[in-house]
Structure 1
Amino acid sequence: MPTDEPLRDDLVELLRRRALTEDAARPDAVARRHAAGGRTARENVADLVDDGSFVEYGRYAIAAQRMRRDVEDLIARTPADGLVAGTARVDGSPCAVLSYDYTVLAGTQGALGHRKKDRLFDVIERSRLPTVFFARAVAAGPATPTIRWSRRSTCPRSRCGRRCPGWCHESRWSRVGASRATP
């Protein structure tokens, strides 16, 4: 039943923020990506998954640069902290999809993007989902807060007492400290 009542202010703000996460909100960045022969993260995901099936994780995350940039600037320029990730269906089968967004800080991986990725990897493991990850090597920018990580030397699971080689599904990243890169 449609009503003529105006939308609540918080819903209007949510819709504004959601629109800022779409490619249409950043036409200059998208044009630069296309000019370089690349595609956007959202284009990759949309072409892969079944229509309407993508459920995005952390869409409203922004880069952790609040001491260097205004929050409104971060909201406009760093949607999803440069990582479009979630669950979807591909040819009717459930899967997980992750794609680094090179229109956001040239694909630099941010702290919140890492947290999103780690959370989604836990969902992937628990649900045993096949995964598609659109990625390529990038370097951390000088203004990006970084977190140092190391592999545990043995598998944390009780059923596995061996030393994990680092790429094994049973190994985990553990946080050993944090540092902030200086400009």
Structure 2
Amino acid sequence: MNTARAQLLDWLRNAHAMEVQSEEMLKTHIRRLHHYPQLRDRIVSHLAETCEQQAKLEHCLREMGGEPSGLREFSARFLALGHGLLQVASTDEVVKSLVLTYSFESMEAVVYRTLMTSAEVAAQPEIAGVCEDILRQEEAMAEWLREHLPDIVRQYLVRLELPGIQAKR
């Protein structure tokens, strides 16, 4: 049966898988970022938020009588692996990671705005509140990346010009 509640449940499963993908992507960035400590530290902090977000979404799913989708999570991990491989192969890995992470955080913010509205329509105010809290975290991360992008790109380009110094990560 197609209802706002059923749609919300489906979108919550998607959001949970999205956070699994985010976790894997962030872990890859953390393992590979060596020369950009400010970016690495912020990603470490957001990884902790991401793991908490997964737990909150799982709780919301269970409250609605659902559970995360193993197939969607597997697909999300596979996508994260692909992103990681593309970045590793690039000479400007840190910049590509920054662009990808900023894009992903922006997409997540839109997803949580959608979930908030869906939860409100489906008469699930607690879930709407959870989604609003997560939305604030995603927007904060995207804003941090947006603000720090010029400095990180400058750092990369300066390192690129220095002989014997690795710039890519």
Higher strand share: 1
TM over 0.5: no
Per the normalisation by structure 1, the TM-score is 0.29
The higher relative CO (CA closer than 8 Å, separation ≥ 6) is in 2
Q: Which has the larger radius of gyration?
A: 1
